[in-house]
Amino acid sequence: MEVRRTVPVKLDVADSDADLLHETISEFLWAANYVVDHAWQGEYKTTSKAELQRETYDDVRAETRLQANLVQNARNKAAEAVKGVVARWKHGDYAGKPNFSAPTLVYDKRCATFNDDHATLSTVEGRITAEYVLPDESRETPHSEYLFNDDYEVTGAELHYRDGEFYLHVRTKADVESETADDGNDEHSTVLGVDLGIENVAVTSTGTFWNGSEVNHWHREFEKRRGSLQQRETRAAHETIQSVGRTETGRYDHFLHTVSKELVAEAIANDCDVIAFENLTGIRERMPRAKKFHAWAFRRLFEYVEYKAEIVGISIGQVNPEYTSQRCSKCGTTLRENRQTQERFCCQKCGYEVNADYNAAKNIGLKYLRAAQTSSDGGAPVDVRLNRGMLNVNGEYEPAYEGQNGSPRESPTLNEANGDAVSE
């Protein structure tokens, strides 16, 4: 079977080359958004790469300094995004017009060369050499397992810029024999479900909460300050607004990095092979109180968890969030009335009372493992990691036995008097 793996590699580039990469990323994003704008015209959205190539290639070449292959990669990125939106429409889901703003750039083997210790990358002014910053060769890492393994072929990469550094997410593939034993004794996988929200930025199926009150306070304060500065309508005020924006983004990024690091650590501590999130498409429509800021923060958190998890060999999954907030994770009853408030979940059938976000996190994990069990490729048996044992694909709960990894805490339930999380 074909196995694909992505290895994030930090790059060491000269300052002048870094400037060229920034310029190339900027023009690549412009090109991708230009193609999306063209595809979005009219009642029917254009998803054909060949048609978009004919209708946008000359314009993009004329307006940018991108070489031909980067123009085609930008077109492909745009076409796939529009195609994904149309697919979600067909399933009755809401999805808006794609927009690319994250500093990323797609390379293939026509516009980049990948070597053992460096890569040469096309830019708006020729190619530059980017040295790899690699871990100790004696350590067992994704780099040694995939990047330096002759069985794995490099197929391309995506350039990312974050925290003042460039990273190349190198994609590899290999044809390997199935690791599933003939007797069907498949390797066991465990899922950590994660629910994202406004009051609690993230809640896991193991009962760990990351409260969002502080970051929401920052957002309100920065909004007030921006509003006050905008009323002045002076050049100094405009420059101060830009400075405030950089400070704001830096503070959010630090917070989200911390949460993502702790989420991955939670998965490691509980021996999880997969971290499952809800699909973020249309999240503002599902959360009436969510602002554009929250949608951005959820996407950024997902991206941070994704690349941190890749480094330690943990997979990331997404599920359709439909009914995860209304379904009882204990008996499976799904009723709108079960979700009584933003914080309170109480099953109308079995009486199970628990924090609503925690209940949703368990449902997200359970939904992922059921999808994995019923997928066409079979797959290994999987369980949702809870803080007191395992919930299997049939929804059956098995208490933790002595020596089992995982938190010994009780599942958080709601105290009717004050809504605080208490032990069952």
CB-hemisphere CA count at 13 Å for 421? 16
By CB atoms closer than 10 A (0-12, 13-18, 19+), residue 56 is: buried
How far, CA to CA in Å, does 77 sit from each of 36, 112, 157, 295?
9, 17, 13, 21
Range from 97-101, 224-228, 252-256, 295-299 carrying the lowest mean pLDDT: 224-228
Residue 421 has pLDDT above 50, yes or no: no
Q: Please report, rounded to a whole number, the percentage of residues in the chain having pLDDT higher than 90.
A: 27
Average pLDDT over residues 341-370: 86
Q: Which domains does the chain have, with CATH numbers?
A: 2-175 (no CATH), 189-399 (3.30.420)
The residue behind tokens 């109480």 is 346
**Residue 370: what residue type?**
R
What is the reported pLDDT for 201?
Answer: 85
Residue 289 has pLDDT above 80, yes or no: no
106 confidence band (pLDDT: 50, 70, 90): very high
What number of other Cβ atoms are within 10 A of residue 300's Cβ? 18
- Pairwise pLDDT comparison (31 vs 351), residue with the higher score: 31
Q: Rounded to whole angstroms, how far apart are CA atoms 27 and 31?
A: 6
What is the reported pLDDT for 224?
Answer: 65
Q: Rounded to whole angstroms, how far apart are CA atoms 246 and 256?
A: 15
Residue 30 has pLDDT above 70, yes or no: yes
- Pairwise pLDDT comparison (370 vs 228), residue with the higher score: 370
Digit-coded pLDDT (tens) for 293-323: 777 788 888 888 988 888 778 888 888 888 8
Which helix (H) or strand (E) element contains residue 132? strand 126-133
Digit-coded pLDDT (tens) for 129-165: 999 998 776 666 667 677 777 788 888 999 999 888 9
